[in-house]
Structure 1
Amino acid sequence: MHKVLLLVVSLAASWAYPIDYGTQLTPAIVKEDPAAYPKYHFEYGVKDDQTGDIKEQAEERDGDVVKGEYSLIEPDGTLRKVQYQDDGKSGFNAIVTRGHSTHPAPKKVAVPVPVPLLYHH
């Protein structure tokens, strides 16, 4: 048992290394990668007639300038459209427009009219 303990202690000592507490850390210098210029374009749309989920979005970015728009059909049938942009200087600006609701005309439901019963004596 002592031989095994001695072996473990000697292995542990061989893996140990001195720590230099006098080493000073210097902050890392981060350089921007010119290949990482922010530029993209995307768009998507959903049209699910069963659930009524209808929406679209498109956006593009070129450097600090972001432009885009999205639209959706709200639960009351109104079309909402939002156009937005951020030029990197004046902040985020959006223009929101709403159309008129497009509720379908209410269905006419036949209501039964009670017929009076005539009693003869």
Structure 2
Amino acid sequence: MTFKVLALLALVATALARPQTYGYGAPGPAFGPAKYDFNYAVKDDYSGNDFGHQEARDGYDTQGSYYVLLPDGRLQKVTYNVNGDSGFVAEVSYEGQAQYPTQPRPYTPAPTYG
């Protein structure tokens, strides 16, 4: 009799401890419209890296831009927006003139620490 009671208690404890999950097709929790704003930038004089990105979203309206310093010395800028189902609309521009050196840049090893 004791074994039956313990088995029944173990079964009840297992059923109560089971996590609530949403199966396929079941709706998950409802979230409000997306709203965020972020930006970052990297400028490393040692390696020559210069790039950044900023974006803001409010519901279905998203606007942003990013830039990168190309190996030929030009700065490529991309400005974009997305409004609802309009898709990703981008405008690309370049600053500066492409430069192609006649001599390759000499190799300089990265610094070593401790």
> Residue 39 and residue 53 in structure 1: after superposition, are their counterparts in 2 closer, same or farther (change >3 A)?
same
Does the alignment pair 1:67 with 2:75?
no
Q: How high is the TM-score relative to the length of structure 1?
A: 0.59
* TM-score (normalizing by structure 2): 0.62
Equivalent positions of 1:69-88 (< 5 A) are 69-88=65-84
* Runs (4+) off by over 6 Å: none
In structure 2, C-alpha distance between the alignment counterparts of 1:56 and 1:16, rounded to whole Å: 56
The aligned counterpart of 1:93 is: 89
TM-aligned CA deviation for residue 89 of structure 1: 2.3
CA RMSD of aligned residues (A): 3.1
Pick closer, same or farther for the CA change 1:106–1:32 going to 2, 3 Å.
same
Sequence identity (%):
36
1:15 to 3, 10, 13: 10
Does residue 52 of the first structure (1) align with residue 67 of the second (2)?
Answer: no
Q: What 5-or-longer segments of structure 1 have no aligned partner?
A: 1-5, 18-26, 108-121
1:16 deviation in Å?
3.9
Q: Is the 8 A contact 1:59 1:67 kept in 2?
A: yes
